[in-house]
Amino acid sequence: MGTGDFIKKPDRRFKLLILIQGLWALTLIVLALWWGTLLRQQSDEIARLETQLGAPESQVQGRLGRTERMITGESSAFIALILITNGVLLFFFARDTRRSRSLEAFFASVTHELRTPLTSIRLQAETLKELGSDPKHAPFLSRLLEDVSRLEDQVQETLELARIEGGGHINLQTIPLKTLIEKRILLNYIQDRKQIECVTELTEAVVQADPASLTIIFRNLLDNALRYSEHQPARVLIRGKTEQDFYFLTIEHQNSVFQAEREKLGNLFYRGKNSQGAGVGLYLVSTLMNKMGGTADFHPKSGVFITQLALKLEKGDRADV
């Protein structure tokens, strides 16, 4: 993902703001001119009536002149205030947009560059472990590989979050969900991490989803299960059922020690009472589910952490109501 991905959306926002501010200013200016014209017409009508009633012409014309000057002055001041206010708002928004764009571009560049050295460290550690030169070094190499893998996951999470927050889109596809979860996501995950037991009770269903997003979602949830298990191995039960237009997934971490306030889970940077992460994972889960037209709900309980996901079914696979 290049830095150009972060530039497009702020530019669109800025153009949209200019358009809205321009329309708003034009509307107020038209209203001010209309009110001024109406007041002048009313003043002329009053002056005509006063003349018909016998008021001195000089007195009538004097009052009419003062009224017209007042209307002209106040209307001009009102229009000038509108234009100045809009200009100031646009100036500060443009300045903040440039700062935000620079920070996002720098953030994306640094995060992207981290992937190469992390991959290199992991490959070298794997090579050293395979050589098996000194058995005493094996535990340290295993820990190094785990830490590098965790860092790679966090970098990938950060890049995905930045992409989504920067206006990135997901690629919705028609997916046989059971096959994707059991044959691809869980199989690849468990091969790399042995300290987790996953039991699935899934029915066949075809959903509209993005495979890459689902992989990120499950990786986050399973990483949390490994991180917040009372003991090893972490035990996870994954169930699924079809209801009307949605397929509901329940991911139950059965030996969880994670503590958090339910209503705050899914908020960006909320870390929970005993969190070890940055508070991004569950927010990313919730955001990706919303992008796919589904929902995510989290239920922390004593010894159990339950995540409920709802995915849209493909039309031909929906249950009759």
- Predicted pLDDT at 169: 75
- Predicted pLDDT at 63: 74
Cα–Cα distance list, 301 to 228, 236, 257, 258, 296 (Å): 13, 15, 9, 9, 16
Nearest Cα neighbor of 261 from 269, 270, 252 is: 270
The list of the chain residues with pLDDT below 50 reads 1-10, 320-321
Residue ranges of the domains in the chain? 1-168, 173-317
Residue 118: how many CA atoms within 13 Å on its side-chain side?
18
Instruction: Report the 3 state secondary structure along 199-236.
Output: EEECCCCEEEECHHHHHHHHHHHHHHHHHCECCCCEEE
Give the burial class of 276: count Cβ atoms within 10 A of its Cβ; 0-12 exposed, 13-18 middle, 19 or more buried. exposed
Pairing assessment for the beta strands 295-301 and 234-243 based on DSSP bridges: unpaired
Residue 222: how many CA atoms within 13 Å on its side-chain side?
27
State how far the Cα of 130 lies from the Cα of 163, in Å rounded to an integer. Answer: 36
Nearest Cα neighbor of 282 from 248, 242, 251 is: 251
Tens digits of residue pLDDT in 220-230: 899 889 888 98
- Predicted pLDDT at 46: 76
- 3-class SS of residue 185: helix
Nearest Cα neighbor of 309 from 226, 159, 202 is: 202
Confidence (pTM): 0.63
CB atoms within 10 A of CB 58: 8
- Predicted pLDDT at 6: 39
- Predicted pLDDT at 118: 80
Tens digits of residue pLDDT in 22-57: 787 788 778 877 877 777 787 777 777 777 777 777
State how far the Cα of 246 lies from the Cα of 312, in Å rounded to an integer. Answer: 5
Architecture category of domain 173-317 in CATH = 2-Layer Sandwich (3.30)
